[in-house]
Structure 1
């Protein structure tokens, strides 16, 4: 096994070359092992300014924020203010959905484990004021239910906006204030920002996007998503060292380095217990806990989360059995390739663990009934259409909607091939990933009812 010092040397030598190879403008990485941390950075925070990335630069952590929000919720559980299995409307009477029957049943546990069943990519902008999250809840009144509460997994950003409001109501303060009082301060964080106004006080990374497929990444025109989605991952930014300080809280039974109890050991354990199994989706975990993604790496449990915002990507993997945590923060380009290179090396050298292989197209053709897959699947964020051309090839057409339509050019058609009887996979890798699409359920005619690629999109009705 390698030492932490040897890992630091490897990162120092290899990270710049990895960024150049995969067109990632800048990155910061930290490794926690045996209670010690090493961190470093390479590249640029912005190609427009040329400011260099440093280990104490702040990058957006995106949806890793969901684990922080879950921690805030579990603190309320510890205090007896929330029962995870009571309908959330008992605490938030203003929680509304298009399906009122579902809204009366959905529990906090289902929100935390992405099993609530309503449309999840609802990025309604309700302003920049302290009431942004409060106003957001009312905008869910027309949001449709994809499936019954608790029936299956579908990644849900909107659920965590609801949880953010739940925290605000029960704490009597705005989400960012609660985040700072309940976590930033007791953890002693020095390079963490809850919003752009705080981020500007640090060396802050700017996201980068490709203007067209194949073109080099350029600085994104917008730094953050809407404030209404702060508790889901719209704007929280920090250094890898501060992110690892948070990870260490979940390795130490909920106590800080000075012995301060921030979360009960029971709640730490509960967050890491599987709540729902996932389809085989490649980058995502094998199951989901409360907030945490749960991975099975050849019999070893790994917890973590990824985050993606406007041109920034964040990766956190924690191996409780080995006291190991790895944080990688990036700002554009083929970020997944850098993730795989860094995490696979560190996990192998420090814990003897092999990073599971990514899904790839089968070496030989798989025979399936293509008619089961064909059609349009829809949600508020985008429409996905699976079609077959005259040569029998399968294609996926993607039509982003709303804010997603404004973030870049319309995606090109993606060629798909069968992976097995239940799923198709992209022939060409995008950002290092051949995306699998799993088809679930039956619409009553033998066709799939859902296309699942992390989110469950329901077949559009004629």
Structure 2
């Protein structure tokens, strides 16, 4: 039996037990080596209905959509209709944020690489009409600038909605039509949808949430986020094999399975080239390209992206040097533990790549002076208060704001322990993960200017 055949057998045998172990209602996995593809599914699409998952079931892919949006932008660059280094306002003159100079300077490339510098977790619902992305961009006028364009990385959902509007303007049609005509069609996808109205035509997964940290997942009361955030990841839904087909196109020099040239080989290479180095976060990529995360892992470079929506999660990893692609879609529970168990085995056996160990608190944390880190940091969806207790220990209290508060987010308080330099991790894991927090910059008084866990959240008080 081939190595891929061994993996297929292992997934069929092991996936159901992994779902139970990690409280995941359903998942599907697809793997390819060259032109050979296998896929496996298990579990139930909704615990409310008991409908079983199949390999043709569709799941939301969340923020993996950003790579699709980036691909649409790069197609326009291929056609000579767009310059990556031109200001965004060349294509969307109405793009306005709180900092006028920054708005005039921000380039398409900076949006693609999450280096534009304005606050990115903006989830304004501007309705379900074809003009919702246009209306969304018009709401960004008060969005604060966190740092100078191009100065550093901070994950930016709003920036990708602006990119979606760039695509709409240059194509003269709504974003979902651009996805359908320029990606679904050329890639030959048969089980892919833009939102609930299309997803209902297929065997569709429902997201699941946990009402309490140790509770069993239950079907979420809301299926998707707002359509206005579609270019950032609120709508795209597909079966795992179709997600893998998109990934394979990026491994095959921009060619679809039938040979259609969806994207130029040069654009594919540009997207995978690191544009900005990230803080030592441990869970995200070591660098970011034009849409793709870039992981420098033992055994080789891996590119990928993850996605999370309301109770659904997806992961996509490509190993260009080994011609291997792996995709996972799921609908609740602990998807990261499931990802670790599956991708560790597959990438090791098929690509010779090792997933690095997850960040974890040291057995005996080092005692450090924490004065530099104390204070309040705030963004649109959360307020983070960093405090020192009477014993000198560091605590992080996260208070939901905006959309996160509306969705029922709870105040969470956790002790932070020192990992290295300005890097700390929670003593208690969330869904098995100790998410690193890196304190970055200086506010001029000796205090950190940002707390960074993928997003740079700016200090507002000492």
**TM tier relative to shorter chain:** over 0.9
Shift of 1:299: 5.1
Is the CA contact 1:212–1:409 (under 8 Å) kept in the aligned structure 2? no
Shift of 1:116: 0.2
Is the CA contact 1:360–1:425 (under 8 Å) kept in the aligned structure 2? yes
- The answer to whether the aligner puts 1:251 opposite 2:247 as a matched pair is no
After superposition, give the CA deviation of every residue in 1:406-434 in whole Å (9 maximum; x if it has no partner).
22341421111111221110111111210
- Equivalent residue for 1:115? 115
After superposition, the Cα gap between the structure-2 partners of 1:374 and 1:33, relative to the gap in structure 1 and judged at 3 Å, is same
After superposition, the Cα gap between the structure-2 partners of 1:409 and 1:97, relative to the gap in structure 1 and judged at 3 Å, is closer
For the residues of structure 2 that align with 1:211 and 1:2, how far apart are their CA atoms?
Answer: 43
Is the CA contact 2:299–2:354 (under 8 Å) kept in the aligned structure 1? no
For the residues of structure 1 that align with 2:269 and 2:410, how far apart are their CA atoms?
Answer: 43
Matched position secondary structure for 1:345: helix
Is the CA contact 2:322–2:351 (under 8 Å) kept in the aligned structure 1? yes
Give the root-mean-square deviation of aligned CA atoms: 1.1
Is the CA contact 1:296–1:302 (under 8 Å) kept in the aligned structure 2? yes
For the residues of structure 2 that align with 1:138 and 1:70, how far apart are their CA atoms?
Answer: 21
For the residues of structure 2 that align with 1:347 and 1:2, how far apart are their CA atoms?
Answer: 15
Is the CA contact 2:299–2:352 (under 8 Å) kept in the aligned structure 1? no
Q: For residues 382-421 of structure 1, what are the structure 2 equivalents within 5 Å?
A: 382-421=382-421
- Equivalent residue for 2:232? 232
- Equivalent residue for 1:422? 422
For the residues of structure 2 that align with 1:299 and 1:212, how far apart are their CA atoms?
Answer: 39
Higher deviation after alignment, 422-431 or 112-121:
422-431
- The answer to whether the aligner puts 1:24 opposite 2:24 as a matched pair is yes
Matched position secondary structure for 1:321: coil
For the residues of structure 2 that align with 1:64 and 1:221, how far apart are their CA atoms?
Answer: 23
Shift of 1:2: 5.7
- Equivalent residue for 1:314? 314
After superposition, give the CA deviation of every residue in 1:265-308 in whole Å (9 maximum; x if it has no partner).
10000000000000111210000000000001125110000000
Is the CA contact 1:211–1:408 (under 8 Å) kept in the aligned structure 2? no
- Equivalent residue for 1:347? 347
Higher deviation after alignment, 375-384 or 112-121:
375-384
Is the CA contact 1:211–1:409 (under 8 Å) kept in the aligned structure 2? no
Shift of 1:197: 0.4
For the residues of structure 1 that align with 2:414 and 2:209, how far apart are their CA atoms?
Answer: 19
For the residues of structure 1 that align with 2:265 and 2:359, how far apart are their CA atoms?
Answer: 35
- Equivalent residue for 1:203? 203
For the residues of structure 2 that align with 1:261 and 1:225, how far apart are their CA atoms?
Answer: 32
Shift of 1:28: 0.7
Is the CA contact 1:95–1:138 (under 8 Å) kept in the aligned structure 2? yes
Is the CA contact 1:388–1:395 (under 8 Å) kept in the aligned structure 2? yes
- Equivalent residue for 2:264? 264
Matched position secondary structure for 2:412: coil
- Equivalent residue for 1:305? 305
Relative to the length of structure 2, the TM-score reads 0.98
- The answer to whether the aligner puts 1:161 opposite 2:157 as a matched pair is no
Matched position secondary structure for 2:114: coil
For the residues of structure 2 that align with 1:406 and 1:21, how far apart are their CA atoms?
Answer: 30
For the residues of structure 2 that align with 1:172 and 1:226, how far apart are their CA atoms?
Answer: 22
Is the CA contact 1:417–1:424 (under 8 Å) kept in the aligned structure 2? yes
- The answer to whether the aligner puts 1:288 opposite 2:288 as a matched pair is yes
Matched position secondary structure for 1:322: coil
Shift of 1:401: 1.1
Higher deviation after alignment, 388-397 or 175-184:
388-397
For the residues of structure 1 that align with 2:408 and 2:208, how far apart are their CA atoms?
Answer: 11
- Runs of 4+ with >4 A deviation: none
Q: For residues 78-157 of structure 1, what are the structure 2 equivalents within 5 Å?
A: 78-157=78-157
Gaps of 5+ in 2: none
Relative to the length of structure 1, the TM-score reads 0.98
Shift of 1:261: 1.1
- Equivalent residue for 1:362? 362
For the residues of structure 2 that align with 1:257 and 1:313, how far apart are their CA atoms?
Answer: 26
For the residues of structure 2 that align with 1:6 and 1:230, how far apart are their CA atoms?
Answer: 37
Higher deviation after alignment, 261-270 or 411-420:
411-420
After superposition, give the CA deviation of every residue in 1:339-391 in whole Å (9 maximum; x if it has no partner).
00000000111112211111111122213221111111111111111112223
For the residues of structure 1 that align with 2:144 and 2:368, how far apart are their CA atoms?
Answer: 31
Is the CA contact 1:2–1:350 (under 8 Å) kept in the aligned structure 2? no
- Equivalent residue for 1:437? 437
For the residues of structure 1 that align with 2:450 and 2:299, how far apart are their CA atoms?
Answer: 30
Matched position secondary structure for 1:328: strand
For the residues of structure 2 that align with 1:212 and 1:413, how far apart are their CA atoms?
Answer: 15
- Equivalent residue for 2:38? 38
Is the CA contact 1:253–1:264 (under 8 Å) kept in the aligned structure 2? yes
- Equivalent residue for 2:73? 73
Is the CA contact 1:35–1:323 (under 8 Å) kept in the aligned structure 2? no
Higher deviation after alignment, 388-397 or 87-96:
388-397
Matched position secondary structure for 1:295: strand
Is the CA contact 1:368–1:421 (under 8 Å) kept in the aligned structure 2? no
